Amino acid sequence: MPTITRIEVYKFNIPLQAPVTIAIGTIEEARNILVKIHTSDGVYGVGEGAPFWMIVGETQASAYAVSYDFAKLLIGKNPLDLEGCIASLDRYLAGNPTAKSAFDMALYDLAAKYAQMPLYQLLGGSKRSIVTDETIYIATPEAMAADAVKIKERGAEAIKVKLGTNAKDDIRRIAAIREAIGHEIPIRTDANQGWDYVSALTVLNTIADWNVEYCEQPVKHWDYKHLARLRQQARVPICADESLFSPQDAIKLITAEAVDYFNIKLSKSGGLRNAVKINAIAEAAGIKCMIGCMSESRLGISANAHFASALQNVVFYDLDSPFEHAHNPILGGVYYQNHYEVILPDAHGHGADVDADFLQRMESFVVEA
């Protein structure tokens, strides 16, 4: 039986090309954590967590701190006992899904390497065509329209637009984008909890005829009542993002008949193990899923893409965070073809690793048996 012998944890900082703004804040740099789990057989797995503090309540510093305790708990354990390893983290500490997702991802990478399979195969699926959308962040309507023109020229099949400041400006944003690029390319909107019910209804019923596929998280994450009312009264389908972390949230949202779609992110769910469960609950309830991202590098995106490829109920793809990064320190993993096609590698595991020279410059610790 293999055992976990050594765990390295890094503060994994990647500069952005420019700051990005959504309704609840601005980020200037991807401040992620990277976890490398080594076994007694000389095999290792790598995982990345991207703590988006306004959403998950974790920072890089908090994720780094709890990772020390997680590493101590896992040393000496059988890495192929995914259930046991992940349950031990959950028993020890509530919450902290992003830090947990980095460990979960590294363990799944290891399990797929032991099975000598790409991760999508370990998850029971196949390699499917995945085309990501590209996100336009909050700015003036004119600047957002100019971004939309560039994205259209690059050949995007769908555009995600960040909204959620106020109804009047948000309607102007979508109007300016439609004016600039026409109506052919579907728009996915995301208010990141920025509206109240009345603003949400006003915006969504104004833009409903402008080829809008759905709206993510129009109101606060706890506000199931207004999510359900919007689902009845807005002419744009509603997608849960910040309301959906765990499999238990999925059951609650379904019971409340609150939304049409789920946006799954490994950084919210605690990793692949729960993401698979959330998707299964959704599928059984007739709810299609989207795979989303925070500010992961191509490494975290690789694990997300394997998940999306394996599970056919995942039909919307928002895997564009590396587009914002000023550096690409990732070796292997998924790559982008014709800008938006996400191509999965055939390597065992998720297939991605980090350039050792880049990692060496990052603050880190090691826990060993």
Q: What residues line the site for Mg ion (CB under 5 A)? A: 190, 216, 241
The distance of closest approach from Cβ of residue 191 to Mg ion in the complex, given in angstroms and rounded to an integer, is 8
Question: 330-332 and 352-354: which strand pairing?
Answer: antiparallel
Between residues 161 and 254, which has the closer beta carbon with respect to Mg ion? 161
Which candidate in 100, 113, 160, 265 is catalytic? 265
The distance of closest approach from Cβ of residue 300 to Mg ion in the complex, given in angstroms and rounded to an integer, is 16
The distance of closest approach from Cβ of residue 171 to Mg ion in the complex, given in angstroms and rounded to an integer, is 19
Angle at 21 between CA 52 and CA 177, to 5 degrees: 130
Burial of 198 from C-beta contacts in 10 A (0-12 / 13-18 / 19+)? exposed
The distance of closest approach from Cβ of residue 122 to Mg ion in the complex, given in angstroms and rounded to an integer, is 27
Rounded CA-CA distance 329/211 in Å is 37
Nearest to 213 by CA among 167, 251, 263: 263
Between residues 133 and 190, which has the closer beta carbon with respect to Mg ion? 190
Is residue 190 flagged as an active site residue? yes
Between residues 38 and 268, which has the closer beta carbon with respect to Mg ion? 268
Is residue 241 flagged as an active site residue? yes
Nearest to 299 by CA among 250, 350, 231, 252: 350
Between residues 190 and 213, which has the closer beta carbon with respect to Mg ion? 190
- Alpha-carbon torsion angle 76, 82, 87, 92, nearest 10: 40
Is residue 100 flagged as an active site residue? no
Between residues 170 and 190, which has the closer beta carbon with respect to Mg ion? 190
Specify whether the CB–CB gap between 67 and 10 falls below 8 A.
Answer: no
Is residue 252 flagged as an active site residue? no
Is residue 265 flagged as an active site residue? yes
Which candidate in 48, 170, 213, 241 is catalytic? 241
Burial of 366 from C-beta contacts in 10 A (0-12 / 13-18 / 19+)? exposed
By beta carbon distance, the residue nearest Mg ion is 241
Nearest to 317 by CA among 82, 160, 150: 160
The distance of closest approach from Cβ of residue 238 to Mg ion in the complex, given in angstroms and rounded to an integer, is 12
Q: Which residues are catalytic?
A: 162, 190, 216, 241, 265
